[in-house]
Amino acid sequence: MKVIPIFIEAGISGFESPAAEYKELGLSLDQLLISHPDATFIGEAKGQSMQGIGIFDGDILIVDRAKQASSGDVIVANFNGCFVCKILDKSKAKLLSASPVHSPVAITPEDEFQIEGVVTRSIRMHQPSNELMSCML
């Protein structure tokens, strides 16, 4: 026997779904992930040196510029004209990786160095995203 499923709601005319008025209250990822919307930017991680703390190649990084960076924070910096993601070690003036094969990098006065912001969240892309793939378009 073939059954055609009909939503109960569809059979009743004249009554609106009681859930309709709550429709606007969807969860927003922005609200959860971004505390300073005007001071935040989004970037894409490239490389393997931060795998030890769970940042993999192709992951999405949420970078907050309003937050003060402290030692031990995962930060994004402008290091000699490149955006890099590392762990900040203020006392030794070093950029640490989270990988046994990448040694710490010392920041010398000759280097161009600015902290761009603190990585407050990273998003693991378990499946490829069409939006992010440039070759798709």
Partner 1 sequence: MYALVDAVSYYASAEKVFDPSIRNKPVVVLTNNDGCICAVCPLAKKLGIPKFQPYFQVKSFLTKHKVIIRSSNYELYADLSEKMMNVIARFCDNQYVYSIDESFLYFKNYAYIKDWHQYGHEIRKAVWRETRLPVGVGFGTTSTLAKAANHAAKKLSGYNGVAVIDDDSSRKEILSRMSLTDVWGVGPRLSKRLSILGIKTAWQLANQSPKVMKDQFSVVVERTINELNGLPCLSWDDVRQDKKEIFSTRSFGQRVTDYNGLKAAITSHGCIVARKTRKQRSLIKRLLVFASSSPHDDNYYKKSIIYEFPVATDNTLKIAEGIADVFNSIYLSGVYFYRCGVGAIEIENQQYQQQDMFNANVNNPELMQCYDHINHRYGNSTVEVAAAGQIEKWQMRRDFLSPSYTSKWRDIPKIIC
Q: Which two three-digit tokens encode residue 79? A: 């290091």
Specify the amino acid at residue 136. M
Is residue 78 part of the contact set for partner 1 (CB under 8 A)? Answer: yes
Angstrom CA distances, 46 to 83, 113, 132, stand at 10, 19, 13
Angstrom CA distances, 115 to 1, 13, 72, 77, 99, stand at 67, 60, 13, 4, 21
Q: Which of 13, 23, 46, 49 is catalytic?
A: 49
Is residue 96 part of the contact set for partner 1 (CB under 8 A)? Answer: no
Q: Which of 17, 46, 71, 86 is catalytic?
A: 86
* Residue 94 falls in the annotated catalytic set: no
Q: Which residues are catalytic?
A: 49, 86
* Interacting residue ranges for partner 1, rule: CB under 8 A: 36-39, 41-50, 55, 57, 60-61, 63, 65-66, 76, 78, 81-86, 97, 112, 114, 116, 129, 131-134, 137
